Amino acid sequence: MHEIGMTIVEWIIGLLVLGGALLGALSAFGLLRLPDVYTRSHAATKSTTLGVMSILLGAFLYFVAYDNYVSAKLLLGIVFVLITAPVAGHLIGRAAYKSGAPLSDRTVQDDLKHAPHTDTQLREHTDGQLPHERERQRE
């Protein structure tokens, strides 16, 4: 009975680790092949996060099954990767758009095209004052 249980655990760990590594390789393929910054960040952020989370879950199960060791560090690592990776992806996408990284030729829609995202455009859009300047005047 115990022998069968260990085999099942081994299979689960193997599937988790192999799936995670395959997701990592897939995201690297996307990083190489996709046409512009935004699609590349899409490939790099999402699938790498899921892949590393499943590898860490596999490692957690490994240490529970073979060493009877419940590792709080691995759980913390899973939570940390889950929280920080989307934040980092959002920040870098925003920085890419604001710094004017070009979109691919095949882009069909750019919702931010007419949105005021530089100071001069914002001045034209409002009454010539930026929000924080207006606040300062009120003070």
Cα–Cα dist 98/115, whole Å: 11
Strand, helix or coil at 45? helix
Q: Which two tokens stand for residue 30?
A: 């996307």
- Min CB(112)–another protein separation in Å: 14
Cα–Cα dist 1/13, whole Å: 19
How would you label 89-125 residue by residue, b for 16+ Cβ within 10 Å and e otherwise? beeebeebbeeeeebeeeeeeeeeeeeeeeeeeeeee
Asked if 25 is part of the footprint of another protein (rule: CB under 8 A), the reply reads: yes
CB distance 63 to 29 below 8 Å: no
> Judged by CB under 8 A, which of 8, 88, 112, 115 binds another protein?
88
Binding mask 35-64 for another protein (x = CB under 8 A): --x--xx--xx--xx-xx--xx-xx--xx-
> Judged by CB under 8 A, which of 1, 3, 8, 74 binds another protein?
74
Applying CB under 8 A, the residues found at the interface with another protein are 10, 13-14, 17-18, 20-22, 24-25, 27-29, 31-32, 37, 40-41, 44-45, 48-49, 51-52, 55-56, 58-59, 62-63, 66-67, 69, 71, 73-74, 76-77, 80-81, 84-85, 87-89, 91-96, 98-99, 101-102, 119, 132
